[in-house]
Structure formats: structure tokens, C-alpha cells
Structure 1
Amino acid sequence: MLVLHSFWWLLCALTVAAKTHTFYFNATYVNASPDGTIERRMVGINNKWPIPTIRVKKNDRVKIHFTNLLNENSSLHFHGLFQEGTNAMDGPDMVTQCPVAPGTTFLFDFEVKDQAGTYWYHSHSGAQYSDGLRGLFIVEDDVPLAVDYDEEVTLTVSDFYHDVSGVLVKNFMSRYNPTGAEPIPQNALFNETRNASWVVEPNKTYLLRIANMGIFTSQYLFIENHNFTIIEADGVYVEPREVDSLYLASAQRYSVLVHTKDTVDKNFRFVNILDQDMLDFLPEDLEVISTNWMVYNKKNPLPKPLKNDNIGTTFQDLLKRLNPVDDFYLVPLSKEKLLPDADVVINLDFTMEPLGDGVTYAAFNGISYVPPKVPTLMSVFSSGKYADNSQIYGSNTNSFVIQPNEVVDIVLNNMDPGKHPFHLHGHTFQIISRSPEGQDEENPIKFDPSNSNHTDYPEYPMIRDTVQVHPNGFFVIRFKANNPGVWFFHCHVDWHLEQGLAITLIESPFEIQKQEIIQNHYDSCNRTNIPSYGNAAANYGETKEAWLNLEGENLQVAPLPEGFTQKGYIALVLCTIIAIYGIFSIYKYGMEDVTSEDTEAMIAKLYDILRKNGDTVGNEYHDEAEEPLT
């Protein structure tokens, strides 16, 4: 009886301690110049940018009244938060909800249950968070950390584009970008600015929470003559690990300890470096290496910025001086053992290739994710007894139904020469295997369960929510299906998500149906003219056959006609560019006496002719046995 009474008082104490945080966030456009070179339109909150950091404690409740005052749809996703029992608050468009339409308000209402650490929140509508709708979400533990530190500070790094996301996506997802080359950022940001100074005091230990909120590139970080001690990764406490530098893929986070020196006679560089290996080309004006400063004494001079052209080294030479930790070898402080063998194995072969419209798409097992007509979570709620049939969720959503408490392995084989960070909503996962980079693009390293090409699984695997796969390599992650919900698994290079690099996990569908969708979800669908009932095609009925009827669903673009290769398409586009240049040269050197007015009219007419002809590109092809196009 005494034990029961004590438990009751403990429960009451926790209930009293929990707090509700209420925010009123208006998404608005704000003009800003983060990199100091141009002013552009950013997406802010309440007419301010950068947007605020949200700070709560474990078990607190969060209520965000999110009003969209933009001229485009928007949303919020709380990256890394499990949303236990509140899957409807996870945020991604057409996965758990309809987008928030301009001029409307959506209430995000959830509890942060049994989680602490460094998280963030961002738009999950297209590539919108590259426009600035991204901020830190810090969850303080309800017990003091088992490490000593004097002060906590936060740091974000990101890539920055001068164009807004809508322009970037339009140019990226174009037949005139046949290789699928990602947009190159103009700069790297450090706490949403550049050339920043962090003023420190001597002989102090700082807890530094760091997040890569970029949409594309991974980044390296180091402080001259200082080390980092990693204590947390993606909300998971780890055994302390001292390193001289960090490598953060998009969406990854670390908490580190930094101990300052005893003297104040010198200031030091704090450097963030874009991973240029992820870029298809390097513009001359792109500063891959960005210098900020750790300032001990404002009266002392700051060291000169590091630049590729004045430090007598190359990017690769600089990296050889650094030794960032391989996160595969971090060990969770909890010493959680390897989960039992998987009940379900999801094998994903990832490829990129152009389809019939000439645009390059990303695909898992040949299927490029296309959003359904009804948000998948709403299909779960409306489908009743048919909710455990994966077919109702669509042919192009890469949907997998998982039953309660199953152990799930995701085996991802990267058949692409790029680096890709993958994030799982609603869970952390164990990283149980990861290959090195494959050196042969024609023969990528694929996972072989017979143990012929991977090491033994670790006894205490690293746990996090975002992991990067190496070029032409693989990883295997494992988690337990103990959080009912519709969860997205996708590449966090959002350009690749735009290309369709995602799957949908419908975990414990009949348990999901016991949760609640509040009225504002249906209101959002009504305001965007999106159906909220039915299967992926918005079809439904009294029979199983009616629910399996996917007529009218959203589908990926048809494949290229047989015999038309990607190289052939690239050659055709290049020939078109060369033809344009040739026509311009003929005009330039053969018609110099034409007036400027005639010049502009002729160029416009030529461009119009070429554009109209270009509209047929992708419908024409040649057999590889024939003479190549010239």
C-alpha cells in the first residue's frame, strides 16, 4: 500500500510539473539578407526572421496556432518528435494532413512524451523550408544531464539560395536539367548569417547544440585548437566521444561540450565547410569554406578567413587534417542491445532516371513517390476494416503496412553516386550495418544478408533518426513498431524528395484508428479542395472491391519509350543548346547592321520557335542500334 501511495504522489508531481506552451505563429514574408550579398524574400514568423527557437521540457504540452499569411500552402513538421498518440500532428503534406491554405489557421496540439534533446521544426510543404521556415526545437530533460557545463548555446548551419524555392524546383524538375543536377547554393550560413562571432569566456565548458537545417549539403565544422565532446545525436544520449571536428548531414543534430582555454590572448576560427563532393559543379564565387570566430578578447584581431585560394591547400587536403567521427561507431548511453531478428524486411533499391517527360526522378524499386489524392492518414481512418490492406494506399506511395510490435529492417541499396541522408518519422532506429563508398558506379555495393559483404551487427548499435548512406553503398536500419501512425521515410535532401524519394509506413492501422483527428484537419482539406475520405484515389464503397479500386489515382510519369536512354536524352538537350548558340552566332556575325529593335524581336522569335519545338522533346527517340543523333 505504501508503494502504491508513493507512486500516486509521484504521478501527481509529474502532472503538476508538466506545462502547456501556447504559441501564435503567423507565417509571413520578410525581406532579409542572410549572407550579406542580396536581400530576398524569406518566410518568417510574426514578421520576423530567423524564426524563434521553441524550448520546452520533457512531458510538456505544445499548442501552436499556425496561421498561413503567405500566398502559398504551408505546414509544420516537428523533426525527431515521436508524436506518440498524436500522429495527426506530424505535419507532412498529404501524409498526415492536407496543407494549410493561405489565410487559414491550423492548430498543432501535442505532448512531448519521454523525449529530450536537440530537435527542430520546419515546413513540410515542397522545398519551402529553404525559404527560411525552419527553427530549433529544444526539449530539456526533467533531470539534470550527467555532465558538467557552465552555459548552453545553440548553433545552426544551413545552405542558402538567392532564389525562392518555387523557382528552384521549377528549374530543377525540368527536361532542360536532364542529369537531375541539384540547385547549387550561393552560400553557407552559420546561425542564419555569415562571418559570425561567438564571444566566450576562458576556462568554461559550453554545451553547444548544433543542427544542420540545410536543404541539401552536409557540412563539416571545427574550431581551431579546440575539440568537441559529443554527448547527444538526434535526441539520443551517447557515450562521450572527443573529436576534432563534426560532420552533419542535412537534418542531423549533435550536442557537444566545448571547453575554452585559460588565456584570452588569442581568438580562433570557427569554420563550417560545405561538402563539395555533393555538388555537381563549383561556381567560381561559391565559398565552400566559411569562417566565423570564437572570440576570447574583442580587442585582439580576428584571424583571417580561410579560403581555398589563400591557404595553399585544396578542399580534400583540408579534410585530411580533420577526423570527424563516423556515427556508426557511436554508442548509446542507454546501452540498448541489438533488437531481435526482423519480422519484416523492407528492401529498397534506390535509383535516379528520367521518365517520359524528360525529367529525372528518384525511385525505390522503380516507383517514384507521388502524393495520393487523400492524405494517407485519412485513408486509414476512413477505410475501416480494410485499413491493413496496403493496396488502398496507392500504387505510387510506396506504402508498407506494419503490424504492432514487429521488428522491422529497412535495407537501402544506393545505386547512385551521391550521398543521401534518410530520415524516419515517428521513430529512432538502430544503424546495424553500413557499407563504405562503392568505387564502381556500374556495380554498386548491395547488401548481402549472407554476411559476405558486411561486418557483424554491433551489440549496442548507434541509434538516431537520420542517417546518411554512402555513394553506391548500402545501410541497414532496424526499429520496433511500437508507435502506431502513418510515418514518412524519405531522403532529407529535399530536392530528392521533390523527385519522389520516399516511402510510407502504415504502422498498426487499427491502433491508429483509436487516435483522434480534430476538426481543423477536415477544415484544411475543405479549404484546399482536397478529399478527406477514401483510398489513394478518393474512391470508396461498401465492399472490398470498391476500396481496392484505384482508378483515377495520381501516378508517376510514364517511362521513356524503349530504346531511349538517359545519355541519348542528355545528348539531345546538349544538341539543342548548341543549336541555339549556333543560330545566335550566325545572327551576331552576319547581321550586325540590323537595329537593336530588330535584334530583340528576332531573338524573341527564335527563342519562341525553339521553345515550341522543345515541347515535343521526350516524345521522340531513336533505337540504340541506329546512328546516334547529331
Structure 2
Amino acid sequence: MAQCVPILVFVVAFLRFMADAAVVEHTFRVGNLTVRRLCENRVITAVNGRLPGPTIEVHEGDTLVVHLINDSPYNLTIHWHGIFQLLSGWADGPSMITQCPIQPRNCYAYRFNITGQEGTLWWHAHSSVLRATVYGALIIRPRNGTEAFPFSKPDKEVPILLGEWWNDDIVDMDSQAFLTGGAPGDSDAYTINGKPGDLYRCSSNQMYKLEVEQGKSYLLRIINAALSKELFFKVAGHSFTVVAVDASYTKPYETDVVVIAPGQTADALMVADAPPAASYYMAALPYISTAPSPPPRPSFDNTTTRGIVRYEPAMPSAASSRPVMPAMPSFFDNDVAHRFFTSLTGLLRPGDPTVPLHVDEHMVVTFGLGVAACEASQLLCNRSRGATAASMNNVSFQFPTKKSLLEAHFRGEKGIYTSDFPDTPPVFFDFTNPAVNVNPALQSLWFTTKGTKVKKVKYNAAVEMVLQNTAILGIENHPLHLHGFNFFVLAQGFGNYNATSAVKSYNLADPPARNTIAVPTGGWAVIRFTANNPGVWIMHCHLDAHLSSGLAMAFEVENGSTPETTLPPPPPDYPRC
């Protein structure tokens, strides 16, 4: 086994002045954990014997060091979702993009500074489907403490991690799906902080409980850690004020429902102002945006996870009565989802980044499902029909196998990837018209090509991407996540993007900043970002089956002209393939 640090978790702070940053140090030991869910014992992969894993708390400006010891039977990486990784791309984590995986009985120390970010992010495995159980919250507080929040200081902060649970071994399911050219099956439950709640078998004592006091305020740090489902989240008798998404502050938005896609976070203030004589369910159920063409709609896990909000001191009536259940949206309520996402606006504070008004790189990127020829190792794949293959601009992304993209980029090694990801799709057609699935003349559009292609951009270039969903093999709301950057969401809508009309709706004043966008079902979105972080950064769908099917691309950002804008070499313990 590689030389690793002691396994104690500790925090070291070097305080020269009150405003100075700290070095926050943790050890993650990843291994097997036996848990009982839905009447069955299941061995899962977990961090430090916990599900969800440990919550990391830091302040803006701190340096975080996480020593990862891999005692699991799988190759593993950890991604610090939403962290910019300024000049520390070696610690970003996606397997074969910024590093080779950490092999069993080996270790790696993730080291990076947290600069210019505050709010709720999270960490998760970024190899295979291990993030189903390997995940946790990452909370970044203002450097000067919670008094610096741009909203009323809450009385308590509460992480709410929403997840999925499978009775079967998810790694085995994923392996079988690859062999057949398909995708893993539906989950068996949704969870709140790892617990499914009382609507599932053998789960009445596996409910998350939040105790509140009348009149006090609670900052719910909501994270969607599910592999494959966007979710509606509500608390009966209570409303929310959304004050941040993806660790970017928003103007206060009042709502009774939070809509959240895999990979996204939302900070929502909740005042405990309901009658304390009752208790209240918090609940989450899936938002199913899939609109296949032709019907029927694919199956999905149509269950609901619940927790309880209980007032303290407890009143006898609350203990003896059934908790109040919130009125949940329909599984298929596109209107609720679209209204939530389009109602968010950014809160611009002095010194915050602003929307780049001059654009250096214009891209139109179509994305969705398609088919490709079966690989030789897909032994059970239907050779005449092919395998499901997702793509961006008709390129189905293939992960390298010999060396990570970032190391190949740093060393100038050829043959690992090509820098020719296309700026536009190969063919412009009626992207969201379901006729593409029934008109024989259009079926050639189904087929994708596989490749490891990146888009090369100069340091500090302003990039605009029109993200256009297609109707091929079904229409769906895809959450697209960009590593290494936040982007501004300028506009979004349904149907085909039309530049003439869309530009008139661009929000260049106070757009929300995000790292993951749920592009509307059968629609489009426009994002902009400044490529001010040298390295290689993947952009991919956060529906896990779509990532493994190829719905990804990467940006290769060149070095700047100074040492401060140049990617340093990898650390000494950088994993090797």
C-alpha cells in the first residue's frame, strides 16, 4: 500500500491575524459498509463508515487538504463539485479527466484553496456509479463569519442531502447495463440524509427528523445527490426564501417548492412559523421531464421520501396526531420546474464577477441521446440496433484509458485526445420535433460518432454556449455541469433556439450564476463564462447513465502569460494509471 497519512481527522488553523485563512485537513477512508434499508442488508461503498459521508466546513480563503485512503475494492476518485480549483486542477477529481483513479490500497491527498466562493457545495465520487453512496456536503462560510451573509443570519443551518437507493448492487447493475448497451434500472427509493422514510417497507424508523423552535429561522442547505432524478422538495405548512444556488447568492425568491437537479444545490431560508401543535412532513419526489417519442413514457421510481419537521418543546397533540403532508406537484409538472428555474436572479455585490459583454468564442451545442455501434466488450449488445450513446454536437465522448486529459495536456503528449470539438452541430434540423423518431428520412440523425475531443480556448476568453436539447430517442431536462467555472445563465426556453428573438431576452444585468443548469425539456439555454482557469475541464450531464453513455465534452484552457496564470506541475503523489 502507498504511504498514507495517519487516519485521524484533524483541523489545523494558522492564525496570524483574525482575517487570515486556515488549513483544514481531513482523512477520508473509503471502504465497505453494511447497512439495512428496505428490509434488506446491503454492502455499499462509503466514506468513514457513514451515509451520507462527512460534512466538510470551511471558510472562504481556506486551504482544504483531504487525504483519501482507498480501502474499497474499486478504483476511485473524489470530485469537489463546484469548487473552481484555481491552478489546482490536479485535485478536481473526475476520473481520467484530471487524474487517474486511486486504486485499491492506495491513497492521494487532494489539496486546494477555496477562493472567491461562499455557500453550499458538495463532494462525490467521480468514477463508475460510486457516487450513489459516496457523497457529502461541503459548506463554505464567509471569511468573516456568518455575520457577513447578505441575508438575515439564520438561527441554525441544516444540510439536506437528497439521494437515491438501490436494493441491488449498483456497480453490478451498471456493469450489466454496459454489456447490453443500455442503462441501469430504476432506483428503489429516494432518501433524505440517507434515510428513505415511512412510505417504504421496513422504514418507519428510518426517517430524517428536524427539530425546530417556534419563530426561529433555518437555512436549509439542499443538495441533490441523486444519480438520475431531478426532485421536487417541500415542507408542509412552511415556505422558503431561496438566497443562493450552487454557492452563488441570489436575490431573495419566495416559493413553497424547491426544484433541484442532480448536482445542484439551493440555500433556502425557512421560518418555523407553523402552528406548533402539529408536526409536518418534508417530502421529495421525482420531477420526470422525459417525453419520449413515440410513447409510452419509460418507467421510473414513482415513490416519495419523507422526513419530519417537529416543533420543540413537543406538544401532546403533535405526538398523537399524524404529521401534515405537503401537497406535492405532479411528477410531470414542467410548469412548476420552469417557473422555479427562470425566477432566480443573481445578487451582485461589490467585487463580484459580472457578465462578459464581449464574447470571444460562440458555440451552439446540441445534446441528447442517440445510438452507436456496439463495442467489442459489450457482449450482450444488440448488434443490429446498436447501443445507447449520448452525445454533444454528435460526438459521443470517450474517456481516455492510458493517461488523464490534464496530464496529457500538461506534458504535451499526443494521441490521448484531439483539440477539435466542433463549435456547431454537423447538421441543423428541427431539433425538438418528435418526427425525428418516426420519419425514416431523418433516422440517420440518430447515429453518433465516438471520440475524445476537447474545445481549445485561450486564457481569459469569454465563451458563450447555446445548449440545445434534441428530441432524438426522447426529450428530457438534462442537468449539465461545468467543472472549473461558474457560468451566467442568460436565457432559457422551449423549442428551438432562435437567435433573433432569444437575444432580446438575455439577462445581462443580474443573471444567476451556476455550475449546473437544468436545460428545459425539449428546449435550450444560453450560458456565458470567462475561461480564466488554465487546465482541462469536463462539461457533462449529471444524469449518471448519460455521462457513461458519452454526454460530455471538455474545455482545454491555455495558460496565461504570467506565472500566476500558469498551471503548476502535478503533486508528488499524483496517481498513475
TM-score between both structures, scaled by the size of structure 1:
0.73
**Do the aligned residues in 2 keep the contact of 1:272 with 1:291 (CA within 8 Å)?**
yes
Match of 1:554 in 2: none
**1:361 equivalenced with 2:389 (yes/no):** yes
Residues 414 and 507 (structure 1), Cα distance of their counterparts in 2 relative to 1, 3 Å cut: same
Q: Residue deviations 1:56-105, cap 9 Å, x none?
A: 11111111111111111001110010011111110111111110001101
Residues 268 and 324 (structure 1), Cα distance of their counterparts in 2 relative to 1, 3 Å cut: farther
**Structure 1 CA distance, aligned partners of 2:569 and 2:101?**
18
**1:222 equivalenced with 2:234 (yes/no):** yes
Structure 2 stretches of 5 or more lacking a match? Answer: 1-13, 198-207, 292-296, 375-385, 423-448
**Structure 1 CA distance, aligned partners of 2:519 and 2:338?**
16
**Structure 2 CA distance, aligned partners of 1:98 and 1:220?**
35
Match of 1:256 in 2: 268
Q: Residue deviations 1:177-227, cap 9 Å, x none?
A: 4xx6x5211111011102222111111111111101111101101111211
**Structure 2 CA distance, aligned partners of 1:108 and 1:427?**
18
Match of 1:489 in 2: 539
When structure 1 is superposed on structure 2, of 351-360 and 405-414 the one drifting more is 351-360
Q: Looking at secondary structure, tell me which structure has more strand per residue.
A: 2
**Do the aligned residues in 2 keep the contact of 1:30 with 1:49 (CA within 8 Å)?**
no
The Cα shift of 1:172 comes to 2.7
Residues 392 and 291 (structure 1), Cα distance of their counterparts in 2 relative to 1, 3 Å cut: closer
Match of 1:569 in 2: none
Match of 1:142 in 2: 143
- Number of equivalent positions: 494
**Structure 2 CA distance, aligned partners of 1:320 and 1:388?**
38
**1:404 equivalenced with 2:459 (yes/no):** yes
Residues 38 and 325 (structure 1), Cα distance of their counterparts in 2 relative to 1, 3 Å cut: farther
The Cα shift of 1:450 comes to 2.8
Structure 1 stretches of 5 or more lacking a match? Answer: 1-10, 437-444, 531-630
When structure 1 is superposed on structure 2, of 411-420 and 88-97 the one drifting more is 411-420
Match of 1:30 in 2: 33
Q: Residue deviations 1:333-362, cap 9 Å, x none?
A: 116653213210222111322222221110
**Structure 2 CA distance, aligned partners of 1:432 and 1:101?**
41
Of 96, 119, 122, 2:121 maps to 119
Give 3-state SS (helix, strand or coil) of 2:173's partner.
helix
**Structure 1 CA distance, aligned partners of 2:336 and 2:468?**
28
The Cα shift of 1:277 comes to 4.0
Q: Looking at secondary structure, tell me which structure has more helix per residue.
A: 1
Give 3-state SS (helix, strand or coil) of 2:40's partner.
coil
The Cα shift of 1:290 comes to 2.7
Of 185, 209, 226, 1:197 maps to 209
Match of 2:134 in 1: 133
The structure with the larger Rg is 1
RMSD between aligned residues: 3.1
TM-score between both structures, scaled by the size of structure 2:
0.79
The within-5 A match list for 1:30-179 is: 30-33=33-36, 35-130=37-132, 132-143=133-144, 144=147, 145-146=149-150, 147-175=152-180, 177=182
The Cα shift of 1:239 comes to 1.0
Give 3-state SS (helix, strand or coil) of 1:95's partner.
coil
Of 518, 521, 544, 1:471 maps to 521
Match of 1:348 in 2: 365
Residues 88 and 344 (structure 1), Cα distance of their counterparts in 2 relative to 1, 3 Å cut: same
Residues 278 and 323 (structure 1), Cα distance of their counterparts in 2 relative to 1, 3 Å cut: closer
Structure 1 letter corresponding to 2:373: G
**1:520 equivalenced with 2:537 (yes/no):** no
Residues 45 and 39 (structure 1), Cα distance of their counterparts in 2 relative to 1, 3 Å cut: same
Match of 1:575 in 2: none
Give 3-state SS (helix, strand or coil) of 1:81's partner.
coil
Residues 515 and 226 (structure 1), Cα distance of their counterparts in 2 relative to 1, 3 Å cut: same
**Structure 1 CA distance, aligned partners of 2:139 and 2:329?**
37
**Do the aligned residues in 1 keep the contact of 2:82 with 2:246 (CA within 8 Å)?**
yes
**Do the aligned residues in 1 keep the contact of 2:215 with 2:273 (CA within 8 Å)?**
yes
The within-5 A match list for 1:125-524 is: 125-130=127-132, 132-143=133-144, 144=147, 145-146=149-150, 147-175=152-180, 177=182, 183-195=185-197, 196-261=208-273, 263-278=275-290, 280-282=297-299, 286-296=301-311, 297=314, 299=316, 300=318, 301-303=320-322, 315=330, 325-334=339-348, 337-357=354-374, 358-372=386-400, 373-383=402-412, 390=419, 396-416=451-471, 417-436=475-494, 445-451=495-501, 455-509=505-559, 514-521=567-574, 524=575
**Structure 2 CA distance, aligned partners of 1:374 and 1:366?**
24
Q: Residue deviations 1:120-143, cap 9 Å, x none?
A: 00111121111x110001111123
